[in-house]
Amino acid sequence: MRLVVFSKMFRQYDAEGLVALGRELGTEGWDLAVRKGHPVNPENVERMLPAAAKRLAEAGQPVLAVTGETDLSLLSRPAYSLFAILLLFASEFCYTKLNQRKGE
């Protein structure tokens, strides 16, 4: 079992800050909050989610879940972008896992 921390209460930390905090806490992954007022938010999700996910993964603290506002189901432009990014992220994650299994 992994220690995964929800970043909602750490809105003041960007990806680099989460890396440092994660090292201090012994975090093995993140449930990344994508919300207004957070470093990754609905307005910048297309650019910032992949960058944050990459940095956290490089530090051994991958983004294992993404949690957004409850109104994301309305599929506004930012919500649509978030869903598109999540699909790409999930596809890349599954592809990586499958390749790791082939190498075992």
In total, how many domains does the chain have? 1
**pLDDT value at 24 more than 60:** yes
Domain holding 70, by residue range, is 4-102
User: Cα–Cα distance between 98 and 81 in angstroms, integer?
Assistant: 26
Question: How much of the chain exceeds pLDDT 90, in percent?
Answer: 44
Region 2-23: mean pLDDT is: 95
pLDDT at 46: 82
**Where are any strands of DSSP class E within 1-104?**
4-6, 29-34, 63-68
pTM for the model: 0.71
